[in-house]
C-alpha cells in the first residue's frame, strides 16, 4: 500500500510553494503530483512555467526538448504527454529549489538565466534539458544553500 506523503500547502505564490505551485497545479501530495505527471499535465502548466520564469515559449521549447510544432499541437489538445510532463516537472523542480535557496522568484529567474562558473559557464536553465544537467543544477543550488564555495 502506497503511503501518502503530504506536502506543505501550496499557495498561489511560487515564492512559498513547490513545483506544483509554480506549475499552478492543485496537487496536495506527492502521490497526486506523480499521478498527474503520469497521466499528462494540462498545457496550462507549460504556460504558467514560462510566465513564472519570464521566458518566451520559443526559448522554453529548446530547454523543454520538443519542437515548436509539437507544442502547438499540445496547446490545441490542452494536455502534455507523460514524458513532456516529466520534463516540465523537472524544470519546475529546479526553479522551486532556486526560489527556496535564493529567497524569491525574481532572484531565481536571474540565477537560472545567468551563466554560472560552477556549471562550466552555462546557464542553469539550459542544462535542464537532461536529468544529468538537472542534477548538476541541483548540486550547485545545494552548495549555495550550505555556503559551500563553487
Is residue 12 a part of any domain in this protein? no
**Which uninterrupted H or E stretch holds 129?**
none
Q: What is the pLDDT of residue 104?
A: 94
Full 3-state SS string of 23-80: CCCCCCEHHHHHHHHHHCCEHHHHHHHHHHHCCCHHHHHHHHCCCHHHHHHHHHHCEC
Is residue 7 a part of any domain in this protein? no
Is residue 123 a part of any domain in this protein? yes
Is residue 150 a part of any domain in this protein? no
- What radius of gyration do the chain's Cα atoms show? 15
Residue with cell 535542464: 128
Is residue 131 a part of any domain in this protein? yes
pTM of the full predicted structure? 0.83
pLDDT tens across 13-61, in order? 444 468 988 999 987 788 999 999 999 999 999 999 999 999 988 888 8
Total domains, the chain? 1
Q: What is the pLDDT of residue 62?
A: 80
Is residue 79 a part of any domain in this protein? yes
Q: What range defines the domain where residue 41 resides?
A: 19-145
Amino acid at each position: 500500500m502506497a503511503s501518502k506523503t503530504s506536502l506543505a500547502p501550496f499557495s498561489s505564490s511560487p515564492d512559498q510553494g513547490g513545483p506544483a505551485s509554480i506549475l499552478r497545479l492543485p496537487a496536495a501530495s506527492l502521490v497526486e503530483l506523480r499521478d498527474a505527471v503520469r497521466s499528462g499535465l494540462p498545457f496550462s502548466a507549460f504556460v504558467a512555467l514560462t510566465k513564472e520564469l519570464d521566458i518566451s515559449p520559443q526559448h522554453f521549447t529548446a530547454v523543454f526538448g520538443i519542437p515548436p510544432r509539437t507544442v502547438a499541437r499540445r496547446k490545441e489538445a490542452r494536455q502534455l504527454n507523460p514524458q513532456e510532463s516529466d520534463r516540465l516537472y523537472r524544470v519546475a523542480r529546479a526553479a522551486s529549489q532556486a526560489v527556496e535557496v535564493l529567497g524569491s522568484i525574481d532572484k531565481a529567474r536571474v540565477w537560472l538565466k545567468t551563466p554560472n562558473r560552477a556549471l562550466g559557464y552555462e546557464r542553469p536553465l539550459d542544462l535542464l534539458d537532461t536529468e544529468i544537467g538537472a542534477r548538476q543544477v541541483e548540486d550547485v543550488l545545494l552548495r549555495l544553500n550550505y555556503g559551500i564555495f563553487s
